Every structure is written in C-alpha cells, then in structure tokens.
Structure 1
C-alpha cells in the first residue's frame, strides 16, 4: 500500500500533456498555451497621449499662457505638428503631435476657448518632460514576445490576442474522459430505487467535477457485477484518454475491476491498487497504450477524495497546468477539533473562512466513507497526518481548498 505521495509519484512519472490544437481565442480562455505567441503590431502604434489635456513642446512656467492652435482627437491619423510656443488640445489616446515633449492634464490648466478648438490656455501647474505621453511600442513591439507557452489564457489574454489580430490560439488538448459505474445495487439517478438499491451518485459527481476542468464526460452507464459485462464496457472506454470506473475495487466477492484490468488481453498495466489514505484506500491506477484507467472506490466520499487528490492533478497536468498531489494546500487555523489518525492519513471535509489574511478551518467530521453529505458540502479537505494525536481548536493545520 503506497503513501499518497508515492502514489502520486507513480502517476506523475508517466503523466504527459496531450497534443496541440488551434482554438478560437474566446474558446481558448482557461486553456494552456502550447506555443509562444509573437506580437504582430506595435502597441501603441505611435506616441499617444495618456491624458485629456494640452500638448506642449517645452517647459512653461506656472502662470504662463500659450495660444491653442487646434485639437487632436483619438482616431485622428498621426502627423499633426505643434508650432513652437503654442499648444494643441489633445484627447486620451490621440497621436502625439510632432514636436510635443509633454502633455499637461486639463485639470492643471485654465482654458479660454475660441473658434474651432482654438483659444488660450493658462498653465496652473507644470509637468516635467515626457509626462503623459505613451511611447510607440512601449507595451509590445511587432515581432517581440507577446504570451508565453505554458501560460493559462485569461479573458484579458483573449483581449490581447484580439488587439494583435490573432484569431486562434495553440493550446493543449483536453483529455477525453469516460465514466463507468458498477454494481448490481446501483440504478440511474433518475430511477426510483427498489429494496436494496441506491441511486448512482458517482456519474453526476464526476460529470460536474470534470466540467469544472472544461471536460465533457462520456457515460458508459452502469455495469452489473459480472466480469464479462464489465470487460465489455471497459473495452468501450479504452478509446478515451482516461476511463474512470467507480466501485468494484475492494476485496469483496463481487469486486471484479482489478481482475478485469489485469487481463492481458486488455493491455492494461496496473500501477497500484491501494493508497494509505482514509477515506479512499482501495484505488486502482492503470496504464494502457492509449491512456489511463482509474478504479475509484464505491463509497461516494472515498471516490470524491481519491478524485480530488490524485485524479484531478493528473487531468490538469494533461492539459498543461502544473499540478500535483496536495499542491495548493494552505496553512490554516482550526475553528474546531480534529480526531486522531491511526496508520493512514485522514482527509476530512471542512468549511473555510478567509479573515484578515488568515484561513480559518471548520472541520466537519463525517460519519464515515459513506457520508456523501459531509464531503459534498465541504469547501476543502483538512489533512490529519497518520499517527497524529487529536488537534484542538486554535492549532494550525493543512487544508486543500476544493
């Protein structure tokens, strides 16, 4: 039985990104860039004003006055010329006239308007040379770096691409994922369970969790506790990059997942079949030539914990996002006590509060690995290291926000 760190190491050793695809820039938001992108234009395209005000060709003492020869608006073509000893009114984003070395904000002047944008301006407060002029290409220069491979494209990044006329972005492909529930006692969530039956919660949990990563899951339904039926459904799922099977991975008489995956005809290679965590000990991880198979525990809380701790980081890595087991965990302070842990690390649901720079962790100890409600309502997982004594309110802890 592996520690969670060793289980992740076994996964990470074989994790790799998928292929590259071109995606429309708006649809690429939240995806990882697979190549460096180069600027196509200078930004700004020429020297422009950063303020509404007056363009001058040199220093003017406070109290001095200048004639105003006209106005330069945003959208005007470059080429306006500034007469020595005069000023031009200028709007934010307008091209700076030839000869201008500064812009005085309108708030620091008194303007007496004449005809057609002309008039006289009195300088109330001066500014040094270079003030409020944005120089050509100071943000990006055509041919220079724009966005780097490995960056997550944000909504702002989509705007950057639009500015440069880049309509598609090269991003890492998201994995295709199939889900398969198992068990004679399991019925679809839409069905009315009979005596001894229960609704399938795994499919909807996994579908929602995968949706958070932008992945649309393909459901293979529910396999009965029959090795032949299970194998047939598993074979259908092996054309996906990742197959997530829930249930059938423990030591029971009708737990056939590891047996089926061990069949040499399927081409699967089992990496491990148990992890020293509670809940979530029975977890099967396997590789085949087209991707991954995970056999998640049948208990709903166990399935959630193993997905969050070990499957989700792999899926993120496959899309180019740096992630690993327990990455993103924070130090927090307990609002309530924690029970002791024996020979396995425990991961308990909790609620989180962020107050004055501190993370407050409110543990919600579950009834057991079947307590779907406690884990389903948790905003994080608080870690109780193995062989640790009970912890009291006020003590520090490690917590992973979900």
Structure 2
C-alpha cells in the first residue's frame, strides 16, 4: 500500500514494505529509490548528535560587549568573593545593634555621628559604642558596625558640645540591611559552564568579575541550498509553474537563531551532477550544509541520488563518486580555497573516506519522512524536505540539535512539555506526527495544545503562529481531545 502527499517539489510517499514492485530497468530504479529503511526520530537524533560530537570547531576570544548570544567555551569562575566586602543595602547609618536594641519613636537612641562614607570610599573611623557612621547604598560597612538603619527611621540631632548626632527611632538587629562578603558568590565558584548561552545577565556577571574577553565556541558556518528547477529568487516576479524560494531564508533565520552563520548559496536545478558540484564547492568554506527539496522518490529528486551515491560509495569503501568527479563547477569559476580543497580530495586518507556515511535517508515521522543526513569528510550534510512545513519540522528535530551540540550544548535536543490536546487530531498515520500547535495556559494551571489549521506539509500559513509541535503517536485513530500528549517547544 502506498500513501502519497503532495508537496512543493514532487511527492512524499510511503511504501509500507519498503519496496515498490516493478519489472525491468524501471523496477530496479524504483527499488533503489524506495528501499530506504525508516529509523525512529529518537534514533535519528542520537545519530546526529553522535556525529556532531566530532565536529567541534574550537573556541575564540571575543570582547565582553560582543559575547551576548554566543556559547561559552569554558567554565567561568568568580575571581573574588561577591560582594568583595560587607556593604550597605541602603542609605542610612551604620551602627552597633546593641546600641539600638531598645530604640523606639518615644525613646530614640542618640548616637554621635563620627564619619560619613559613600560608595567607593572607606570610613576613616571604626564604629564604637555610642557612635554611628552616615553610609550610602553600596558603601563598605565600617569596622565595628554590624547593622545599618535606614534613613527614614532616623532624625538629625546635635549633642551638647555641638557635634552632629542621629536619633534612631526603631530597634534593630545584627546584620540588618547588610550584604555580607561572599553572599552571592565565593571565589572560584562556577558562574556558567561550557555551552551556556550568554544572556545579558551573564554579561553583567562577567563584567563584575573582570572578564574583558570571553572564550566562546566558534560559530558554525552553514551553507544553505534549495533544489528545484521550479524555484525563483525571492525578488523575482512569479512565472507560470514556478514558485519563490522561501525555504532558504526561513532556514537561514533558524540557523541564526541557533547561534550559527548561514551562507545562502541560492537554488540548484534538478540535475545530480550540478548539485554535487555545487555542494563540493561549498564544502571548503562550510562546516555544515543544509539543502531543501529533492529528497523524496520522484524522478527529479536529486538529493535522493546524492545520498544513494554516498551510501554506495560507503558500501564499497570508496568516497562517493559524485563528489569526487564534480569538484569543480561546470563553468570553471571556483574560489582559491575551494580549488585547493577540491585538488586535495584525491589525497584524502582512508580514515577520511571511512568517515563518510549516510546517517539515515528516511525517518519514521510525518511530515518529512524523506529527511536525510550524512557525514562527508567529517562534516554534516542535511537534506530537508522542500515542503515548508516538513522543512521546518526537520530543522527543529535534527539540524538545530546538531548546531547546538557543535557549540558545546550538552542538552541539545528540543525542550518538551506535557499538555492536554484541545481538539482532536483524528488522522491516522503509520508514523508519529508532529503537528504545529499553539499553547494555551488555563487558569487552573493546565497547559492546552491547540492544533493550528493549515498544517499539511506543503502549507506554510501556520508556521509563523506555531509555538510547539504536538507529538501525535502513530496508530489508526490519531489522538482524541483531552488526551495528554508531548509537545516540542519551538524557540
């Protein structure tokens, strides 16, 4: 039995037994296209993360002001206790708690004012019995004082000898309004670990402890291609039978959101040799390649041909022939870096060639079951569906975790929550489905997952409003309203 779903560049098909029967040369060709064993989403993700573990790009030092949004490459430790001294939490008077133990509005405690200290300064005299020091917020608490009384609970006074004094109108206790040394951090304590996304609060901490430069993971450079002879540049007017390439910019935005650098390489025709040549050229300057389209089983799905070439090359212990034989673009234009890389292909070691392999070329999921991934020369290649919805899901499930892991994130898989399904999803599926949804917080604390309209893989209307992907388990009935399901959160 074959299930078929229309998409923007061919069809997304399922062959229940893994084969499409046929005869002659056409039957053999179809068998090659359809014989793609589906792996579970969880297994595919683990394969991707294992491959990404070997793709760390090293670190670089950046100025503190440029560290926001980057991933730390080392553990950041407190260089001193913080606060580095006992400091006042407000404007008032530093006193001995024993001197004001019985103070009240009716019988205030009268203390001689011996000094005044502002933030950044130090009192010249220690607080002794019967004395006080005027103190400002953030200033170091003078020696001898163990409490600070807020200004609003005092009144100015003068002693008989004309020296200044203060009336304390409320009793106090030791340590009140004082931040003790080391209250927040002790010297050597960890502020953040490798892989941490540097947020504005981290920048404040790093500045506090003197980190003028910060070691962060290098940003992966990701080449983005769209395949399909029907694709037009975004700025081009529509033509009969053609559509604009919106996937490339969507993927580029998701790459940037993942902390990496996208390199938009345009669209490619449905010609395997041309696609292979373009990918080989980009490989010199990219750490990872993402393509959209051409992964299904249609006659013009070129990425399927590329992946079969990689698989066949691995099975015969050879670097895949398409990449070797098409290292240069047909017109001869190639950068010096790419040329050097291409010329160096012949000198790759056996271990380099052994590192090239298909991770998967089919995933047990809807949408995007033809989603594929491979390691080529130690770098990752992702081939996502050309359908916008399936492309979006494939990126969230596989590409984003890979980019995060490359940048040192241990928990790189998408965050999930449990939610109650608001409306039924009654469409059966042989594989788990990932349905775009919005999330609603009820007054009783229950989280609802409300599936959006227009969620077919070829539809993009609901992508912008999606707050999560509702995971609908495989089966003959879908999921009923009220069921508790898992929802993958979208950043």
3-state SS in 2 of match to 1:14: helix
- 2:119 corresponds in structure 1 to 74
3-state SS in 2 of match to 1:361: strand
Equivalent positions of 1:186-225 (< 5 A) are: 186-225=231-270
Measure the CA separation in 1 of the matches of 2:68 and 2:256: 14
Measure the CA separation in 2 of the matches of 1:372 and 1:10: 28
Q: Does 1:57 align with 2:96?
A: yes
User: In the TM superposition, what is the alpha-carbon distance from 1:31 to its structure 2 partner?
Assistant: 2.4
User: In the TM superposition, what is the alpha-carbon distance from 1:75 to its structure 2 partner?
Assistant: 2.2
Contact 2:114 2:125 in 1 (8 A): no
Q: CA distance change for structure 1 residues 79 and 355 in 2, over 3 Å: closer, same or farther?
A: farther
Q: CA distance change for structure 1 residues 324 and 35 in 2, over 3 Å: closer, same or farther?
A: closer
3-state SS in 1 of match to 2:65: coil
Measure the CA separation in 2 of the matches of 1:118 and 1:75: 26
Measure the CA separation in 2 of the matches of 1:401 and 1:394: 19
- 2:141 corresponds in structure 1 to 96
Q: Does 1:379 align with 2:467?
A: yes
Q: Does 1:251 align with 2:308?
A: no
Q: Does 1:18 align with 2:62?
A: no
3-state SS in 1 of match to 2:98: coil
Q: Which moved more, 1:86-95 or 1:262-271?
A: 262-271
Measure the CA separation in 1 of the matches of 2:188 and 2:465: 50
Contact 1:341 1:384 in 2 (8 A): no
TM-score, normalisation: structure 2: 0.76
3-state SS in 2 of match to 1:315: helix
Contact 1:241 1:290 in 2 (8 A): no
Measure the CA separation in 1 of the matches of 2:188 and 2:256: 37
- 1:28 corresponds in structure 2 to 67
Match of residue 296, structure 1, among 376, 384, 391: 384
Q: CA distance change for structure 1 residues 225 and 324 in 2, over 3 Å: closer, same or farther?
A: same
- 1:85 corresponds in structure 2 to 130
Q: Does 1:330 align with 2:417?
A: yes
- 2:345 corresponds in structure 1 to none
C-alpha distance after superposition, 1:191-242 (max 9, x if no partner) = 1122111111111111111121232311111111112211111112223111
Q: Which moved more, 1:101-110 or 1:153-162?
A: 101-110
User: In the TM superposition, what is the alpha-carbon distance from 1:183 to its structure 2 partner?
Assistant: 1.0
Contact 1:284 1:294 in 2 (8 A): yes
Contact 2:255 2:261 in 1 (8 A): yes
3-state SS in 1 of match to 2:291: strand
Equivalent positions of 1:76-225 (< 5 A) are: 76-112=121-157, 119-142=164-187, 145-225=190-270
User: In the TM superposition, what is the alpha-carbon distance from 1:324 to its structure 2 partner?
Assistant: 4.7
User: In the TM superposition, what is the alpha-carbon distance from 1:244 to its structure 2 partner?
Assistant: 0.5
Measure the CA separation in 2 of the matches of 1:133 and 1:324: 41
3-state SS in 2 of match to 1:350: strand
Measure the CA separation in 2 of the matches of 1:377 and 1:53: 52
User: In the TM superposition, what is the alpha-carbon distance from 1:51 to its structure 2 partner?
Assistant: 2.3
Contact 1:276 1:344 in 2 (8 A): yes
User: In the TM superposition, what is the alpha-carbon distance from 1:299 to its structure 2 partner?
Assistant: 1.5
- 2:454 corresponds in structure 1 to 366
- 1:2 corresponds in structure 2 to 39
Task: Please give the root-mean-square deviation of Cα atoms over the aligned residues, in Å.
Answer: 2.4
User: In the TM superposition, what is the alpha-carbon distance from 1:316 to its structure 2 partner?
Assistant: 1.3
Q: CA distance change for structure 1 residues 20 and 113 in 2, over 3 Å: closer, same or farther?
A: farther
- 2:437 corresponds in structure 1 to 350
Q: CA distance change for structure 1 residues 396 and 58 in 2, over 3 Å: closer, same or farther?
A: closer
Select the structure that is richer in helix: 2
Contact 1:66 1:122 in 2 (8 A): yes
User: In the TM superposition, what is the alpha-carbon distance from 1:370 to its structure 2 partner?
Assistant: 0.9
Contact 2:71 2:217 in 1 (8 A): yes
Measure the CA separation in 2 of the matches of 1:144 and 1:301: 45
TM-score, normalisation: structure 1: 0.92
Contact 1:279 1:346 in 2 (8 A): yes
Measure the CA separation in 2 of the matches of 1:145 and 1:2: 40
Measure the CA separation in 2 of the matches of 1:163 and 1:230: 51
- 2:20 corresponds in structure 1 to none
Q: Which moved more, 1:74-83 or 1:307-316?
A: 74-83
Q: CA distance change for structure 1 residues 235 and 127 in 2, over 3 Å: closer, same or farther?
A: same
C-alpha distance after superposition, 1:139-177 (max 9, x if no partner) = 345555444334332211111121222111111222110
Structure 1 unaligned regions, length at least 5: none
Measure the CA separation in 2 of the matches of 1:349 and 1:112: 70
Measure the CA separation in 2 of the matches of 1:401 and 1:113: 65
Measure the CA separation in 1 of the matches of 2:177 and 2:204: 24
